[in-house]
Structure 1
């Protein structure tokens, strides 16, 4: 006998495939949502970690800024103390400047020049006097500029021919005013050290040249 299945098996299979597809779709949605949530959690954790690092860096930068301000303040205080110390040393050394000045004037003023007065102000000395000739004044300027360890930068302010005395005793002399600088001991020592270094460098060059020639 031939058996014939009259049930709607095709529709049943379609329903089964549709149900399986819906289950797979739901499972995929659940897995996708889980992956999104997990990725979001990882990213959120990384952001929180980076935020914590940024906060730490900001806090350290704030500390460094405070330390830099303290260092700057200390440097300013050190510079102020150095300036005060230098001022005290200058005051102590300036007390001996009149002695150095009188000694140097006695050494550097040539014959034929007579000083009437001198005035010191701000490391400059104004010399006023009479000279027998212009050459005597030029010699004074050369002596101060080249030979004096304490005086420097002579500057001729004025020179003019005047008469001294009256009648037969009247004499023609040159009245002059010269402005010169006076060194402090530290300036003198610095200049001496610089000259010694230059001389040593020159000797070294000469020795090197001689060695090459030989």
Structure 2
């Protein structure tokens, strides 16, 4: 005989409880996996941030070192410029070392008989090395002698065309004052 088997167990409730347990396990695993993933991501980001901060510190140290080198370079450039200016002054002085003797020698040959110079003065102010303007003061027995001297002065190549500043009659002739610019000498 065939009997019908009837299951009196509440199988739907058991199935539902089984599914709930399975869901809870999956959720717990998901929470744990999410926590682990979040922790790993946080750790990776923290490592990246630490790495970037150390790179920033290295860059800042390098920038400070380069700033110090820039200051040294600027100091060296200032020293170089100062040295070049001093070198230029020394060269100017060296070039003009014999200028006074050349002027006196040249003017001495040009002064006509009956005239003589009492002074030759650089009128450039305080820095006479740079000025090329000279005042020649002297005495002559006549205006003609002064004119002869002024005409001969540019022919030497030492002075350009002179300018007569003053001429005064005195008891024993004429007193004159001439201004002339020194020509640049070719090297």
TM-score, length-normalised on structure 1?
Answer: 0.59
Higher alpha-carbon deviation: 116-125 or 84-93: 84-93
CA 1:93 to 1:22, structure 2 compared with 1: closer, same or farther past 3 Å?
same
Cα distance between partner residues in 2 of 1:23 and 1:66: 64
Question: 1:51 — aligned with what?
Answer: 53
Q: CA shift at 1:119, angstroms? A: 0.5
Match of 1:6 among 5, 8, 13: 8
1:163 aligns with 2:169: yes
Q: Is the 8 A contact 1:108 1:140 kept in 2?
A: yes
Structure 1: unaligned runs, 5 residues or longer: 190-214
- Residues 138-162 of structure 1, C-alpha deviation per residue, up to 9 Å, x if partnerless? 8578x38xx73x556x784x63564
Cα distance between partner residues in 1 of 2:84 and 2:41: 63
Q: CA shift at 1:42, angstroms? A: 1.6
Q: Larger radius of gyration, structure 1 or 2?
A: 2
Question: 1:180 — aligned with what?
Answer: 181
Cα distance between partner residues in 2 of 1:135 and 1:178: 14
Question: 1:206 — aligned with what?
Answer: none
Structure with the largest fraction of helix: 1
Q: Is the 8 A contact 1:110 1:139 kept in 2?
A: no
Where 1:117 maps in the other structure, the secondary structure is strand
Q: Is the 8 A contact 1:128 1:177 kept in 2?
A: yes
TM-score, length-normalised on structure 2?
Answer: 0.65
Question: 1:128 — aligned with what?
Answer: 137
1:117 aligns with 2:114: no
1:1-214 to 2 correspondences below 5 Å = 1-105=3-107, 115-120=117-122, 121=124, 122=128, 123-124=131-132, 125-128=134-137, 132=144, 143=154, 148=157, 150-151=158-159, 156=163, 159-160=165-166, 162-165=168-171, 175-181=176-182, 183=184, 188-189=186-187
Q: Is the 8 A contact 1:117 1:128 kept in 2?
A: yes
Cα distance between partner residues in 1 of 2:50 and 2:104: 80
CA 1:119 to 1:59, structure 2 compared with 1: closer, same or farther past 3 Å?
same
Cα distance between partner residues in 1 of 2:54 and 2:165: 81
Where 2:6 maps in the other structure, the secondary structure is coil
Q: Is the 8 A contact 1:119 1:126 kept in 2?
A: yes
